Amino acid sequence: MTVMKPSLLNITEKARKLKLLILDVDGVLTDGKLFFDNEGNEYKSFHARDGHGIKLLRQTGVEVAIISGRKSNSVALRMKSLGIEHVYQGHENKVSAFNEILQKLDLTPDQAAHVGDDLLDLPLMTRVGLSIAVADANFAVIERADWCTQLSGGGGAVREVCDFIMQAQGRFDEILTAYLK
């Protein structure tokens, strides 16, 4: 099935409207690998640049939320360290969590973007203003996304998205200037 992709100009226009970035965890903020020790403790690896990108994006006024089908203490700890307040874990029905976040923040679906990697993300990706797939996402997700990152999940894809949104909204240069002083 061939799906028409929006032009870069159209994607940039969609990004200008964003007030909320919703992220999946496994396969987006991580590389999707799950590590367990002999006691059943789960370990995840998060990319430092993704975290910094999230912090910078939040400084520009764009909210960040997590909606994940799995539940993990390491995710809760990482999101707390990033200051992310909207963390929904164990939500295989991501649409209900999405609707709750929109209501809490008084936003419309076109003011939200979602970054996903697998079929579980499709119901949400079809409802947001800008749908994004990471480079190593399932082919069906890539085909249906408005935009696909160059970087893989857990490998800086979220930072790529954050930078793109800040650039589209004309906020990246002010962030950059703060580091050049």
Range with lowest mean pLDDT among 2-6, 98-102, 125-129: 2-6
What is the per-residue pLDDT for 84? Answer: 97
Q: Is residue 170 part of a domain?
A: yes
Distant-in-sequence, close-in-space partners of 118: CB < 8 Å, separation ≥ 6: 24, 27, 137, 138, 141
Amino acid at 180: L
Per-residue H/E/C for 112-157: EEEEECCHHHHHHHCCCCEEEECCCCCHHHHHHCCEECCCCCCCCH
Query: Mean pLDDT, to the nearest integer, of 125-153?
Result: 97
Domain enclosing residue 88, as ranges: 8-180
Q: What is the pLDDT of residue 7?
A: 80
Whole-number percent of the chain with pLDDT over 90: 87
Question: Which position has the higher pLDDT, 4 or 157?
Answer: 157
In-domain check, residue 58 = yes
Write the CATH number for 174. Answer: 3.40.50.1000
Q: Residue 1 domain-assigned?
A: no
Residue 168 covered by a domain: yes
* Residue 83 domain-assigned (yes or no): yes
Number of domains the chain is built from: 1
Q: Indicate the DSSP class of residue 6.
A: P
Please state, in angstroms and as integers, the Cα–Cα distance from residue 24 to each residue in 8, 32, 180, following that order: 23, 10, 32
Confidence of residue 1 (pLDDT cuts 50, 70, 90): very low
Average pLDDT taken over every residue of the chain: 94
| 42, containing H or E segment | strand 42-43
Within-domain flag for 19: yes
Position 170 scores a pLDDT of 97
For the chain, what percent of residues have pLDDT higher than 70? 97
Q: Average of pLDDT values for 163-180?
A: 95
**pLDDT one-digit tens code per residue, 88-98:** 999 988 999 99
pTM score above 0.85: yes
Q: Is residue 2 part of a domain?
A: no
Q: Is residue 106 part of a domain?
A: yes
